[in-house]
Structure 1
């Protein structure tokens, strides 16, 4: 082996190992990251994106990663910890897309649109699909790749390489983020739920006053039409509120909501 080959191997040994360790965490994040981790994205594209993010993040966090030494068991534990940290970060970010999906499902159920416009083979009604696809486009156009890279770099401060947070801290963090996502979902769908409730109460009063009138045949089309009109009016506002919450979670994904 020539001196040049020895120098190249010596130069690649450290950075290559660091990049591999970073790739473990980022690969787990990319599996759940909205837009980049969707099932519609081919696996080769997702792999290329994970490698691209690794090339960006690895130089920034190289000083914070100390490769494990000693036995093979130490390496295995290190790799498992990095994968778990990546999955935890990806899951928290993914929760906010699931919150929008849940809001679309609640709104569709309130407006009697979930059965009429249901998409064959998909668990979401068409309204939820509209919200999710619009949110993904909005997030990508507003620089999701930059914010995601920043969150990945920040993760090495909150979740040091090779370590897993304690059970109590992990429970408070995940439960807090889940409760925040559920609250966001119900807040976004609240106009549809309130409007549907008031409308059905009014139909009940009309039915009591005029028992011979078939309120179901009269009220169902009006409820559906009203839900579509409300969708056209409220969708931009809902997406704006969701984008604000999504930007906040990417800016500080490790905050524990109270």
Structure 2
């Protein structure tokens, strides 16, 4: 029995350092992960989520040994944290796309000031509705499974303890930003088109009947139209958003042009 203790202790030490190294990357990513990393989620719950993801990811990645000295340990902590944050920001941009789409839609339909401060971040009501619905749909579609696969795949792209190549990381990250804004504008396109038609119609009416206060007549129309368009188009818009998120998880290193 006593002969087994040193071997058991050595094995437990290896497992401890392996779990610690995986936790560094997982915790950094999960702090930015949609739904699981929101500001309204308590820190204790975030810690439990990070530990659960660590238990899922750790057995699927190669064993990470104990650092030889404090310098290597410091480099491990720094590199894994940077990689986790970079991976998390790439996913977080999809939430930014929904928020931006809601802001564009709200400005186009004169609904930008209704319940503007209801969320933790000051976004219009349309953006708040789209974000909450999108997060709920993403979780129902298996966001936790996709995030675990994303983390496991990241170890093939970014090995443990190695800083990611700056040129590759910069090219990949910069490509994600215009993709997020193009996705946001594509989601808000129906509202922008309706707003353009509305304003052109008001201009024609105003030219034909200058004595009519078209702004007072048209304001209820654009408000109702914006809400009705949100009711009709939101299922399709959220489906486009979740499909885009799923494509990212399927091929996270794709450089989108």
TM-score by length of 1: 0.94
2:90 aligned residue: 92
| 1:102-150 C-alpha deviation (Å, 9 max, x unpaired) | 1011111111111134235741111111111111111111111111100
Q: State the partner residue of 1:25.
A: 25
1:225, distance to aligned residue in structure 2 (A)? 0.6
Cross-structure match for 1:39: 39
Q: Which residues in structure 2 correspond to 1:123-202 (within 5 Å)?
A: 123-202=122-201
Residues 68 and 122 of structure 1: is their aligned pair in 2 closer, same or farther, counting only changes over 3 Å? Answer: closer
The 5-angstrom pairing of residues 197-212 of structure 1 reads: 197-212=196-211
Q: Give the aligned partner of residue 252 of structure 2.
A: 253
CA drift of 1:67 comes to 4.6
- The answer as to whether partners of 1:66 and 1:161 remain within 8 angstroms in 2 is no
Q: Is the 8 A contact 2:14 2:66 kept in 1?
A: no
Aligned to 1:221: 220
**Aligned pairs (5 A) from 1:43-58:** 43-58=43-58
Q: Is the 8 A contact 2:17 2:65 kept in 1?
A: no
With 39-48 and 18-27 compared, the bigger mean Cα shift is at 39-48
Q: Say how many residue pairs are matched.
A: 256
Distance 1:100 1:3 in 2: 59
Q: CA RMSD in A?
A: 1.6
1:43-87 CA distance string (max 9 Å, x none): 111101111111111111134x45543x32222112100000000
Write the distance in 2 (CA, Å) between the matches of 1:116 and 1:53: 38
Once the 2 structures are TM-superposed, how far is the Cα of residue 156 of structure 1 from its aligned partner? Answer: 0.3
TM-score of the pair, normalised by structure 2: 0.95
Classify the secondary structure of the residue corresponding to 1:235. Answer: helix
Over 3 Å counting, the alpha-carbon distance change for 1:169 and 1:122 in structure 2 is: closer
Deviations 1:155-176 (Å, cap 9, x if unpaired)? Answer: 0011111112222211110011
Q: Is the 8 A contact 1:93 1:253 kept in 2?
A: no
Stretches of structure 1 that go unaligned for 5 or more consecutive residues are none
Q: CA deviation at 1:186?
A: 0.4
Cα distance in 1 for partners of 2:10, 2:163 equals 31
Deviation at 1:255, TM superposition (A): 1.7
Alignment partner, residue 75 of structure 2? 77
Between the aligned partners of 2:19 and 2:101, the Cα distance in structure 1 is 39
The residue number in structure 1 matching 2:10 is 10
Residues of 2 paired with 1:184 and 1:217: CA distance?
Answer: 33
Task: Tell me how far apart the structure 2 counterparts of residues 7 and 223 of structure 1 sit (CA, whole Å).
Answer: 73
CA distance in 2, matches of 1:117, 1:221: 18
Distance in 2, matches of 1:161 and 1:256, equals: 23
Match of 2:107 in 1: 109
Cα separation, 2, equivalents of 1:140 and 1:122: 21
1:197 CA drift (Å):
1.2
